[in-house]
């Protein structure tokens, strides 16, 4: 399916005002997503919060159906979360760890996830083993296989890192996890919305993500997937009247679906808006989106790499729309601020948030530009022209 770029840019008002290459931070929402949120907030103001939610029941439930289509799973395996970190921690803290259990993770693991691992090691005595990346910058599968033993309780992997444009071989990791009956938790924050995801092909027991990045949903929204066949292995660490049934004065039963990881109270307008964002992506088609984003990322890397004094930091056959680079003699923050002053949004991947990966690669703070399907070759040319002038 071809993508009608002009129509999509018309649906995204900010495209007329700026160049947005910070989609890995927060993408620009389509007009329909913002309209859905504002409409529900107006209903809450006019009718009352509970009453507006009752009236919007079908739009709220669309969240689950939309994600089921996006991830090729059942709607009952999907839950809403206030953000990706909450989603990830809800699943991670539901695993019954005991002292001596091993968690295998990668060099590229997201900062908040790794901090949670450190915290669990301090509280429960688990052991963390970090599998280094190979020469292509992705998790070394041979070393991962060699690290598996009966004490390994979990493999936790970030699919596409925040600080690099590589795409880790998540499906091959999933094959290993299934072969050894090990729980597998996949962070899809940066891959959901730019890569066509199928949880059955990925082989993950759990997957988490955010609404604000490549899915083009609102901030303060997230989601999780929990494979039904693995649900009995986990028990939520916290509970409320939505996640469980208070069956008698002294007994309760968790829900039998992924919504056992939800809270009763949530950002209803955001939940509706995120469902609309998924519908929008599905209408375009995830295969077409993945192709478009990959092509734009490749063009950006090639054009940046031709600029004197610029070093692009990722290389390989399978790369995402995230591009990291450095300009000789110019700090990452200075370049980011200079570009923003010219109406160009980008980001900085900071060493302080990437103590494993950037440190091992001998890098400090680096610049990050992340493209989406509504970006254009002309914007890439303008961006690179500005970078060259610093």
DSSP state of 288: H
Distance, CA of 379 to CA of 357 (rounded, Å): 29
CA distances from 305 to 300, 314, 317 (A): 8, 11, 16
- Say if pTM beats, i.e. exceeds, 0.95: yes
Contact status, residue 324 vs residue 108, Cβ threshold 8 Å: no
- Residue-wise pLDDT tens digits, 81-105: 999 999 999 999 999 999 999 999 9
Distance, CA of 102 to CA of 126 (rounded, Å): 6
- Residue-wise pLDDT tens digits, 281-308: 999 999 999 999 999 999 999 999 999 9
Say what the pLDDT of residue 1 is.
Answer: 56
HSE at residue 33, side-chain half, CA atoms within 13 A, is: 28
Distance, CA of 69 to CA of 80 (rounded, Å): 15
Better-predicted residue by pLDDT, 315 or 330: 330
Mean of pLDDT values over 48-58? 98
Say what the pLDDT of residue 316 is.
Answer: 81
* Of the candidates 27, 25, 32, the residue with the CA atom closest to the CA atom of residue 7: 32
Task: Say what percent of the chain tops pLDDT 70.
Answer: 100
Mean of pLDDT values over 357-372? 96
Say what the pLDDT of residue 378 is.
Answer: 98
Q: Is the pLDDT of residue 33 over 70?
A: yes
119: confidence class by pLDDT, cuts 50, 70, 90: very high
Mean of pLDDT values over 129-138? 96
Task: Say what percent of the chain tops pLDDT 90.
Answer: 98
Distance, CA of 21 to CA of 27 (rounded, Å): 8
Distance, CA of 305 to CA of 40 (rounded, Å): 46
Q: Is the pLDDT of residue 330 over 60?
A: yes
- Residue-wise pLDDT tens digits, 206-262: 999 999 999 999 999 999 999 999 999 999 999 999 999 999 999 999 999 999 999
Say what the pLDDT of residue 315 is.
Answer: 86
Contact status, residue 156 vs residue 188, Cβ threshold 8 Å: no
In the chain, the domains with their CATH numbers are 5-28+286-389 (3.90.1150.10), 32-283 (3.40.640.10)
Q: Is the pLDDT of residue 383 over 70?
A: yes
Contact status, residue 330 vs residue 234, Cβ threshold 8 Å: no
Q: Is the pLDDT of residue 2 over 90?
A: no
Please name the residue that has the structure tokens 């478009």: 292
Please name the residue that has the structure tokens 């950006």: 300
Distance, CA of 321 to CA of 166 (rounded, Å): 9
| Separation of CA 26 from chain center | 11
């Amino acid at each position: 399916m071809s993508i009608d770029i002009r129509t999509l840019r018309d649906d995204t008002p900010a495209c007329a005002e700026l160049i947005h290459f910070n989609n890995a931070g927060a993408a620009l929402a389509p007009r329909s997503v913002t309209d859905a949120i504002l409409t529900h907030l107006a209903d809450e103001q006019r009718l009352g919060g509970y009453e507006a939610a009752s009236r919007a029941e079908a739009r709220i439930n669309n969240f689950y159906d939309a994600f089921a289509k996006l991830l090729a799973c059942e709607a009952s395996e999907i839950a809403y979360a206030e953000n990706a970190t909450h989603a990830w921690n809800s699943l991670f803290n539901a695993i019954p760890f005991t002292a001596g259990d091993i968690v295998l993770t990668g060099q590229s693991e997201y900062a908040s996830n790794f901090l949670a691992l450190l915290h669990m090691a301090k509280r429960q005595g688990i052991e963390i083993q970090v599998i280094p990346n190979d020469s292509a910058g992705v998790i070394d599968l041979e070393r991962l296989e060699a690290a598996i033993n009966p004490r390994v309780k979990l493999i936790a992997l970030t699919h596409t890192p925040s600080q690099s444009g590589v795409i880790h071989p998540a499906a091959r990791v999933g094959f290993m996890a299934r072969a050894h009956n090990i729980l597998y938790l996949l962070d899809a924050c940066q891959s959901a919305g730019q890569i066509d995801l199928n949880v059955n092909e990925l082989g993950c027991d759990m997957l988490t993500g955010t609404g604000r990045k490549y899915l083009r949903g609102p901030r303060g929204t997230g989601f999780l997937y929990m494979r039904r066949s693995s649900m009995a292995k986990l028990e939520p660490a916290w509970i409320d009247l939505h996640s469980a049934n208070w069956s008698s004065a002294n007994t309760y039963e968790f829900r039998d679906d992924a919504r056992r990881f939800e809270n009763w109270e949530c950002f209803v307008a955001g939940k509706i808006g995120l469902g609309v964002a998924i519908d929008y992506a599905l209408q375009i088609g995830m295969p077409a989106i993945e192709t478009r984003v990959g092509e734009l990322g490749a063009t950006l890397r090639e054009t940046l790499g031709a600029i004197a004094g610029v070093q692009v930091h990722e290389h390989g056959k399978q790369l995402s729309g995230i591009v990291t680079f450095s300009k000789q003699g110019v700090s990452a923050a200075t370049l980011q601020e200079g570009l923003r002053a010219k109406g160009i949004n980008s980001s900085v991947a900071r060493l302080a948030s990437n103590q494993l990966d950037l440190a091992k690669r001998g890098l400090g703070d680096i610049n990050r530009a992340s493209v989406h399907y509504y970006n254009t070759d002309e914007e890439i040319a303008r961006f690179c022209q500005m970078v060259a002038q610093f």
